[in-house]
Structure 1
Amino acid sequence: MLILFGFKTAVKELFRRQTVCPNCGQNASQRIDERASKFTVFFIPVFTTSRRYSRTCAYCGITSELSRSEKNALA
């Protein structure tokens, strides 16, 4: 019997916020994304194994990791 399993990463934009970038210091739009790794069986997502959050500055383009509490503070 053959069972196909693996992992899939899904990226979803949660929201955008106008804040000061920690890298360039400009007041620019910051895109907050969520990366969720999901365990799959026969290419169907079964459950989420991890979630990571990141912030991307629209002015300088740098991407930095966020913790869940930092993401909640920006929301």
Structure 2
Amino acid sequence: MFLLFGLKTLLRDLPGRMAACQHCGQFVQQRVQERATKLSLFFIPVFTTSKVYDITCTNCGQSSTIKSRQKNALLS
């Protein structure tokens, strides 16, 4: 029996928003990215194992990880 499986990380850009940066303190556009790791079986994604959200300041370029609750507050 031959079983083919693996993990794949997908990046997806989410709509950004104006907010104050945690590092430089400027009120500028913030980019939000979703990084999802998926388990695939025979090259077909079966389910998502983890999701991480990153926010990046367009002024200073610093990036930090945020929780899904913070992401929902930022995007709503």
TM category (shorter chain) comes to over 0.9
Could you list the structure 1 runs, at least 4 aligned residues long, displaced by more than 6 angstroms after superposition. none
2:66 maps to 1:59: no
Whole-angstrom CA distance in 1 between matches of 2:68 and 2:29: 19
2:22 aligned residue: 22
Q: Which amino acid aligns with 1:36?
A: A
SS at match of 2:59: coil
TM-score by length of 2: 0.92
Cα-Cα RMSD: 0.9
TM-score by length of 1: 0.93
2:73 aligned residue: 73
What is the deviation of 1:43? 1.6
Whole-angstrom CA distance in 2 between matches of 1:45 and 1:13: 19
Whole-angstrom CA distance in 2 between matches of 1:43 and 1:57: 35
Whole-angstrom CA distance in 1 between matches of 2:42 and 2:60: 40
Structure 1, unpaired ranges of 5+: none
1:37 aligned residue: 37
Q: Which amino acid aligns with 2:36?
A: A
SS at match of 1:24: coil
Structure 2, unpaired ranges of 5+: none
What is the deviation of 1:32? 0.9
